[in-house]
Structure 1
Amino acid sequence: MASNKGFSLFFLHHNPTGSPPDDRQLNAAARAHVSRQALKNRSARPRNLKFVSYTPETMRHGDGSGPSTRPNDTYGEERQVSAIADRDRGVTDPASRRMSSCPLRPAGWDPFHSFAMSGMGRDEHLMLYYAFTTTWPQFGEFESGRRNFAQSWLWRTLESPAAFYAGLMGSATHYTIFCPTARIQNRILAMGLKWKIQAIRAVRSLIEQHQSGSPREFTNSDLLAIFVLAIHGSINFSDEPEPHPLSPFATYRHMHVYGRLQPGKEHMNAIYYIVDQKGGISNIDQHAFGFVLPILDMLYNARLDTPPRYPCSRQLKPMVQEGLWAPDLEAHQKLKTLGECFRTSPDASLPTAPYLEPKMVKLLEVMAEVTVALDHYCRRGPGAPDSLDVLANNCDWASHAILSLPPYIPLAMSRSDLDQQPDIDTTTILHEICRLCTLLYHDMVLLPTPPHTGTKLRHSTRVLCLIQVIQRKDPIEDLRAFDFLTWAMVIGGIAARFTKLQVSYIKLIEKVARDTAWEVIHPRWERYLWFNTFALRNERTMAPNTDIATRALIVTLKAPCSGKTTAEVAEITGLSVRQVNRIYARAIERGFNPITYKNHRLSYQ
């Protein structure tokens, strides 16, 4: 076979139709190379084309382009090993999972073996392989959607230098966050900076052409390059503790990774401009952007406390009626209980709760249903959703709805401003607390982001301020409003853990805990929005339905536990002594030491 050594790195021609390109869209050199490789592959492996995969060990040797081939080997050295070994990623990384080589289906194609990428070094091969097998498959719903997404992104990446280098940079950034203990991390991080510079130069050239009046329009590949650069505007590598056990949605679509990234304003403005120029979000490549651009739009504007720019692309689906979910007995009971206090009376026999604004009712109903389905998914068993993909549609609808809801009180108003505004009544303040707590719950359970975004701290700060304003007004006589405020204190208190606000929340919760028994108030919370997370579900001594979020909060905040022994705390919370000690130990490991042990009793530090 002819050698590739004389070829330079080239890219596929842009495909304006949005469909996967074929060999007619390749340039002459690519067609010749594909023909040679296809003939060789048909004779060697006609039905089982696979990616060439690499280990960090192979990456440390040489700087040649691609894998080496032996003279008598007609297929080349196909390495059936993981691209990243567990020891390189570290056994302490909770988000890590083994990444194996990805065999293609019959009649598939191999982008690293069939196309003339002779200018690519081993780092480029590794990062493209990592993107195709680890990062891109996180998007799209169900197997077909993920396959279409990954294939579309690969085609777009190979269509332009800007998208190619941006893709390498994005993959390198994800790798450094997802695999923090890998031995090759420093080199990949350095290469990522190099690729970012190359991507920015290529994008700048495209923009200059556009500004000079070039008839060339922005392509989907150009949009992809700017999209990736926007996501990776800046990175927060700090190790911040999570304030609560993670929802399964926290790692869905790798939100625990992308939540550390701060989108760049200039690139986001460029995205909005290009999409507008192309006639709106419905006129761009839906396989490439249909799932991810609305999410980026929501996350970017959520940080700014502004509504999403794009309309919601989701339509609510009746999960039960469409056979996507068959609630079991426990789920049916939860559907009756969860969110009960956010419903209106069907016959109008009872007045609407003072904290409930009518346009919040449907949104809260959907969030409660998704929560119950998520709980059933965690418990498994007959009728449970097969995957989080089943819940993603309604979850994204709810996300767009709550993020689009404007504040009832201007965000710029401080506590003193509120005290001096007699025209802002208690009902309006309750409506705003309800909106903010729904945003907090959304950020904890449905579209969770890591603490690096500052979302939980921002909203919990506002909730605390509004609760204090209400407490200085006339006493709350409506029992429904009192219970609602208690729920708001707990939601805000969970979000404020490991921050300067937690002491203030502790004091609020202590007052309630002194006057109300645990057995009385805990069931009331479950009539609002509440998710029983299972952070300790593997503990043999823990019942599978134990409400860890609630009990960990009570233990850590010490609301009813000050001055108690660990045995007494265990009795109050229903945990074992071992589990109480473990919760304390984990809090201390994360830099939070709220208590001291003195004579085997607990006290505030």
Structure 2
Amino acid sequence: MKVLFIPCDGDGHAKKTVSEEGVTRTQHAAREYHKKAKLRRAKTKDQPVHDKRSPRKSSSASNSTSSTDTPTDEPLDIELEARRQSPNQILLGASRSDPFNTIGDSDSGIPLYVHEMLDHAISYHWSEMCLTDGGGPNAARTEIMQSVMHSPAAWYTIVYAGATHNAYQYGGRGTTKQNEQLRLMYKTKAIRSLMDYIQENGDKVSEEALLSMITLASHGTGESLKGHDSYKRQNLSFLSHLHDVEYYVSMDTGMEHLHAVYSIVDQRGGLRALRRKSLAIVIQLCDILTSWRDLQRPHFSLLAPTKWYISMRSHQPDTVAQGMLDTLATGFHALVSDGYFGLDDIVKVADSTSIFSADFDQLLSTHDLPKDQRPLQTPNMALVRYMRWCVLHDILMLRDYSTDDNIPTEQVLHEICRLILCAYAVFVVVPMPPRSKLHAKIAERLSSILIRAVKLGVPGKQPDLFLCAVAWGWMCTEKAVGYRKLEKLLGSYTTLLEFTVVRRKPESWSTVENILKSFLWMDTYCEEPGRKFWAGACGLAEGENVIGQDFS
């Protein structure tokens, strides 16, 4: 360390020592600083420097440089080193990463945007789908970031997914050219990196490669960006919005990637054998959502049974939630009490669904309250978020009797109950947009099984169940926008209404509502379409001209 002694006068002020040329020490230091800075700038730009100083002053400065090192030399060296670094590295900071040299040209403007999309993926995209049972969202973010740092395929894929999700959020406003170019480039690089990895490693697929494959599977072509406008997204139920169900439903599924993931995970012993839990959950949810879109059984079993997650609940249900727990699913229990013991699996799933519904309703009622007004005992949001997928998985795992011929009454009742659960799920558990065509599928299957039920005399034996099924079928039909057989389907339910026993009068709504609540119901999502159903039913009873069908 070099010390510079500055002479002071009696008052403690520095004396202005003047050199032989009449230049003060301060002026000399300032000139040296600006001269070196000018040389550095010229060196950086590879341009010659023309010293505009007078020969006398330049000579003086040159002579003094060799003999005197000012205390500014060390900071200047630091500044020079900083100038040699990429501007993006300075902007990104030490915490940002570029493991695969994607920074590129400092004048392109793309690199910083790449990291913005990575931040978006980690902070807003993956944290919504990667749920944990104790570590919170940070655990998932950490695991995803570890994969990104160790695998080029994961790096390109996650950035591509983040850019796609960001583009979706623009809705009707359109996406930027920068975003379109990044998605095209990084998707190409992701696929190429994944192919290179598989060619080099064969069947020894890492979990980072699995993450890349399941991400590509969930995004398909990645071109269906029919996102909601911001004001519409804000009106979505907050759990649906957090899970981005709308986003993933808008994507077509890359089934080749998904089937490859199924095969690899099966060879390793299933999802529980994966080291990264966030990866197992991502694959689990992608499997459930893909199966839900087609009303099929999921490929994988749950990481833990639904009852285990139910046992993790620690809050106290409020009065409304307790009332729901006392009422919901009692209609299914009544069927078993009537001797239909083959419906035990239905009752078990209905009980889990009612618990989720009560917790969900209690969470919704307190979510918009200021923090200081929220009760201490509220459901755990992460647990409710994950329970919905577990409940949906259990519903989809129920046996499907719709394709069986000449099935007995008990199996007809089983199929009616299963489809009621599916209808409730599409409205409440994991809501799906009408463009998914799922409402039409459920309504079509309910209509078919109810026609068979009429022939078996079910409306007289189980009038409450029959009315409940007709109501859910009608409500699903109302959501089947664009369905080519919509008129025929509405006509079918119009005729099925004739077999219900409740008088179709507006004042009978309370009776109908109580029947529906004895099975599965949630006012927030069901009351409006339910009232619309009963208004339509009453309108038909008053003589509206609607074509019916004969099931005899």
In the alignment, is residue 313 of structure 1 matched against residue 303 of structure 2? yes
Aligned counterpart for 2:417 among listed residues 434, 441, 450: 434
SS in 2 for 1:310: coil
Structure 2 partner of 1:559: 537
Q: Deviations over 1:218-239 (max 9, x none)?
A: 1111111111111111454458
Structure 1 partner of 2:470: 489
- Cα distance in 1, alignment partners of residues 268 and 346 from structure 2: 34
- Cα distance in 1, alignment partners of residues 301 and 257 from structure 2: 20
In the alignment, is residue 293 of structure 1 matched against residue 278 of structure 2? no
Structure 1 partner of 2:48: none
Question: Do the aligned partners of 2:401 and 2:415 also contact (CA within 8 Å) in 1?
Answer: yes
Structure 2 partner of 1:458: 441
Q: Which amino acid is the alignment partner of residue 150 of structure 2?
A: E
In the alignment, is residue 133 of structure 1 matched against residue 123 of structure 2? yes
- Cα distance in 1, alignment partners of residues 419 and 183 from structure 2: 38
Deviation at 1:172? 2.0
Q: Whose helix proportion is higher, 1 or 2?
A: 2
- Cα distance in 2, alignment partners of residues 187 and 503 from structure 1: 50
Deviation at 1:147? 0.5
In the alignment, is residue 342 of structure 1 matched against residue 332 of structure 2? yes
Question: Do the aligned partners of 2:122 and 2:141 also contact (CA within 8 Å) in 1?
Answer: yes
Structure 2 partner of 1:402: 395
TM-score by length of 2: 0.69
Deviation at 1:260? 1.8
Structure 2 partner of 1:374: 360
Aligned counterpart for 2:493 among listed residues 478, 499, 505: 505
SS in 1 for 2:243: helix
SS in 1 for 2:524: coil
- Counterparts in 2 of 1:67 and 1:507: CA distance versus 1, 3 Å: farther
Question: Do the aligned partners of 1:250 and 1:449 also contact (CA within 8 Å) in 2?
Answer: no
In the alignment, is residue 328 of structure 1 matched against residue 313 of structure 2? no
In the alignment, is residue 389 of structure 1 matched against residue 374 of structure 2? no
- Counterparts in 2 of 1:113 and 1:329: CA distance versus 1, 3 Å: same
Q: Which amino acid is the alignment partner of residue 396 of structure 2?
A: L
Q: How many residues align?
A: 439
Question: Do the aligned partners of 2:167 and 2:175 also contact (CA within 8 Å) in 1?
Answer: no
Deviation at 1:428? 1.9
Q: Which amino acid is the alignment partner of residue 300 of structure 2?
A: Y
Computing the radius of gyration from Cα coordinates, the structure with the larger value is 2
Structure 1 partner of 2:141: 150
Question: Do the aligned partners of 1:563 and 1:603 also contact (CA within 8 Å) in 2?
Answer: no
- Cα distance in 1, alignment partners of residues 217 and 188 from structure 2: 14
Deviation at 1:302? 3.3
SS in 1 for 2:302: coil
Question: Do the aligned partners of 1:326 and 1:384 also contact (CA within 8 Å) in 2?
Answer: yes
Question: Do the aligned partners of 1:457 and 1:495 also contact (CA within 8 Å) in 2?
Answer: yes
- Cα distance in 2, alignment partners of residues 562 and 505 from structure 1: 11
Question: Do the aligned partners of 2:131 and 2:137 also contact (CA within 8 Å) in 1?
Answer: yes
Deviation at 1:322? 5.4
Deviation at 1:326? 0.8
In the alignment, is residue 362 of structure 1 matched against residue 348 of structure 2? yes
Q: Deviations over 1:154-206 (max 9, x none)?
A: 22122222112211221122122222145544541343122212211122222
Question: Do the aligned partners of 1:315 and 1:394 also contact (CA within 8 Å) in 2?
Answer: no
- Cα distance in 1, alignment partners of residues 304 and 236 from structure 2: 25
TM-score by length of 1: 0.64
Question: Do the aligned partners of 1:533 and 1:549 also contact (CA within 8 Å) in 2?
Answer: no
Q: Which amino acid is the alignment partner of residue 228 of structure 1?
A: T
Deviation at 1:484? 0.8
- Which segments of 5 or more consecutive residues in structure 2 lack a partner in the other structure? 1-39, 45-77, 105-109, 367-373, 548-552
Q: Which amino acid is the alignment partner of residue 414 of structure 2?
A: H
Structure 1 partner of 2:246: 256
Structure 2 partner of 1:218: 205
- Cα distance in 2, alignment partners of residues 343 and 312 from structure 1: 25
- Cα distance in 2, alignment partners of residues 426 and 267 from structure 1: 41
Question: Do the aligned partners of 1:317 and 1:394 also contact (CA within 8 Å) in 2?
Answer: no
Question: Do the aligned partners of 2:423 and 2:473 also contact (CA within 8 Å) in 1?
Answer: yes
- Cα distance in 2, alignment partners of residues 431 and 251 from structure 1: 32
Structure 2 partner of 1:582: none
Deviation at 1:114? 10
In the alignment, is residue 110 of structure 1 matched against residue 131 of structure 2? no
- Counterparts in 2 of 1:367 and 1:384: CA distance versus 1, 3 Å: farther
Aligned counterpart for 2:429 among listed residues 440, 443, 446: 446
Structure 1 partner of 2:73: none
Question: Do the aligned partners of 2:171 and 2:228 also contact (CA within 8 Å) in 1?
Answer: no
Identical positions, percent: 22
Question: Do the aligned partners of 2:132 and 2:139 also contact (CA within 8 Å) in 1?
Answer: no
Deviation at 1:126? 2.3
Equivalences for residues 266-277 of structure 1 within 5 A = 266-277=256-267
- Cα distance in 1, alignment partners of residues 120 and 111 from structure 2: 14
Question: Do the aligned partners of 1:66 and 1:122 also contact (CA within 8 Å) in 2?
Answer: no
- Counterparts in 2 of 1:77 and 1:123: CA distance versus 1, 3 Å: closer
**Larger deviation, residues 428-437 vs 286-295:** 286-295
Aligned counterpart for 1:531 among listed residues 522, 525, 529: 522
- Counterparts in 2 of 1:385 and 1:523: CA distance versus 1, 3 Å: same
- Which segments of 5 or more consecutive residues in structure 1 lack a partner in the other structure? 7-39, 45-64, 70-74, 79-108, 414-420, 536-546, 565-601
Q: Which amino acid is the alignment partner of residue 158 of structure 1?
A: M
Aligned counterpart for 1:550 among listed residues 526, 530, 536: 530
SS in 2 for 1:560: helix
